[in-house]
């Protein structure tokens, strides 16, 4: 049986997945690779971005639109035979609350799509507003977890983050319909009507640009004195203790920024897909796979991460392609083989090449003196004072 491959669609979907995973995995690498925070609940932060878009974003845009553009909406509904049958005039005042049930969600979605098609610039504004909101909430959640992250031992932190993520995604996300419609999910308005039919391409490009920006940011962190400090702290308890508060602040900032980044990715993924279903934000997709990518590529190494992302995604696409070939032969869904294979790859990688394909450059892991020098250069202006501090005659 020949397999047909639509090269353009394949390339576009590959680009989308690689960009999305690059953002998430780079943010994971900042936390786990550089600051030593084992985030086993990464899917919570990706889900947070998507959930904000679906629950707050949907309601907010419905509310704003139905209040500010009431007349236009009424006209829209009257023109549409399907909608006019189901939605009365008094419904308009409470349009935003219709997102709770699946049918209301569909109707509302239809209205919003039409509205944004007529007012694309408003769509862009709403889009930006909602994405900023998602990022802000992601950042706030980062701030929240930075409190335990700076105090708990690694294992406890990993357990706590995983438990929090499973609780939010698998309990509340699955069963509390008002949030994102439970396991049936919610549709999102097409905010980016500007792109016309090319919405998916447009969002993919946005994701790629974000991934690039994230890469540059991660590289800057990695090569800054702060980044070197963090690695020293990760590897050396003594350094951590003596650097104290300074480093705690840097680590907190990194956690906030990586959480915000994951939420941004989640928001863009949701908008790319046009819907949010809580079951899409599981541990396997957004915690395990990013960890796998990081370990395959190289922990604490940004270019390694990108390579890891690309390799795992290409593997996934390959499995997608051969799946129809395998399906008639084996009496089960071949997708499980991909999961099992990924689990095996992680374990084999840890065993045979724990440093990843591209190891962290050893020359960059600094010893305490060099870090100390960095801080001196950073903090103390006066040459004379530097000399005194170095010789131990004064304290910074």
Partner 1 sequence: MVVNVQLFLDTMAYASVLGLLSMSLTLTYIVSRVPNFAHATFAAIGSYMVLIIVWIMGIYKTGPSWGVYYASLPVSFLVVGIVALIQYLIVLRPLAKKGISIDGLMIATLGIDIILVGLLNISADFLEDIFQRSPDKDLRKLVTYPRSGYLSSYEPTIMGITASSILGPLLLLVSTIGFYLFLTRTKFGTAMRAAIENPQLAETLGINVNLVYSVSWFIAGGLAGLAGVVMVMTTKLNPAMGWILIVSVFAGSIVGGLGSLFWGAIGGLLIGFLEQFGVYYTQIILGALTGETISLGNYRQVFSLGAIVVMLLVAPQGLASLNWHRILSRLGLKRW
- Binding residues for partner 1 (CB under 8 A): 32, 36, 38, 40, 148, 152, 154-156, 158-160, 162-164, 166-167, 170-172, 174-176, 282-284, 287-288, 291-292, 295, 331-333, 336-337, 339-340, 342-344, 346-347, 350-351, 354
Query: Which two structure tokens, joined as six digits, stand for 279?
Result: 């079951």
Q: By C-beta, is 267 or 294 nearer to partner 1?
A: 294
Q: How far is the CB of 40 from partner 1 (least distance, A)?
A: 7
Contacts of 106 (CB under 8 A, 6+ apart): 187
Q: How far apart are CA 39 and CA 158, in angstroms?
A: 6
Q: Which of 301, 310, 14, 256 is nearest to 135 (CA)?
A: 256
State the Cα–Cα distance between residues 58 and 51, nearest whole angstrom: 10
d(CA 146, CA 72): 46
Which of 11, 350 has the CB closer to partner 1? 350
Closest to partner 1 by CB, 155 or 378: 155
Helix locations, 119-236, DSSP H: 120-149, 154-166, 174-175, 177-180, 199-223, 225-235
DSSP state at residue 361: P
Integer Cα distance of 34 and 21 in angstroms: 18
- SS3 state at 319: helix
* Residues 142 and 256 sit within 8 Å (Cβ to Cβ): yes
CB of 2 to partner 1, least distance (A): 26
Whether 43 contacts 263, CB under 8 Å = no
Composition of the chain by helix, strand, coil, percent to 5 = 80, 0, 20
Residue 141 or 188: the one with the smaller Cβ distance to partner 1 is 141
Q: How far apart are CA 146 and CA 54, in angstroms?
A: 26
Nearer to partner 1, 113 or 360 (CB): 360
Nearer to partner 1, 187 or 291 (CB): 291
Closer to partner 1 by CB, 318 or 336: give it.
336
Q: Please tell me what DSSP assigns to residue 57.
A: I
Nearer to partner 1 by Cβ, of 74 and 345: the residue is 345
């Amino acid at each position: 049986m020949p397999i047909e491959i639509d090269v353009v669609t394949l390339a576009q979907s590959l680009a989308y997945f690689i960009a999305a995973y690059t953002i998430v995995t780079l943010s994971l690498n900042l936390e786990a690779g550089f600051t030593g925070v084992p985030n086993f609940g990464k899917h919570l932060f990706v889900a947070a971005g998507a959930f904000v878009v679906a629950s707050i974003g949907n309601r907010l845009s419905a509310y704003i639109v139905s209040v500010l553009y009431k007349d236009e909406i009424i006209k829209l509904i009257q023109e549409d035979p399907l909608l006019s049958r189901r939605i009365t005039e008094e419904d308009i005042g409470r349009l935003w609350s219709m997102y709770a049930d699946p049918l209301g969600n569909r109707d509302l979605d239809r209205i919003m799509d039409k509205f944004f098609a007529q007012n694309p610039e408003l769509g862009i504004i709403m889009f930006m507003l909602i994405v900023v909101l998602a990022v802000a909430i992601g950042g706030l959640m980062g701030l929240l977890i930075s409190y335990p992250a700076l105090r708990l031992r690694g294992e406890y932190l990993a357990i706590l983050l995983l438990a929090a993520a499973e609780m939010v995604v698998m309990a509340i996300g699955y069963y509390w319909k008002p949030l994102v419609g439970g396991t049936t999910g919610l549709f999102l308005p097409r905010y980016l009507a500007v792109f016309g039919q090319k919405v998916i391409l447009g969002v993919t490009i946005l994701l790629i640009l974000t991934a690039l920006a994230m890469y540059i940011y991660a590289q800057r962190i990695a090569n800054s004195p702060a980044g070197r400090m963090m690695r020293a702290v990760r590897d050396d308890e003594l350094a951590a203790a003596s650097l104290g508060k300074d480093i705690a602040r840097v680590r907190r900032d990194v956690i906030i920024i990586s959480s915000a980044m994951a939420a941004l990715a989640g928001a863009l993924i949701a908008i790319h897909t046009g819907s949010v279903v809580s079951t899409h934000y599981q541990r396997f997709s957004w915690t395990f796979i990013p960890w796998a990518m990081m370990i395959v590529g190289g922990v604490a190494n940004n270019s390694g991460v990108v390579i890891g992302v690309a390799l795992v995604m290409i593997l996934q696409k390959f499995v997608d392609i051969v799946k129809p070939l395998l399906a008639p032969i084996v009496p089960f869904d071949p997708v499980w083989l991909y999961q099992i294979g990924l689990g095996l790859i992680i374990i084999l990688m840890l065993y045979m090449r724990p440093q990843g394909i591209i190891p962290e450059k050893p020359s960059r892991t600094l010893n305490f003196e060099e870090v100390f020098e960095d801080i001196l250069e950073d903090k103390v202006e006066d040459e004379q004072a530097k000399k005194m501090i170095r010789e131990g005659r004064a304290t910074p």
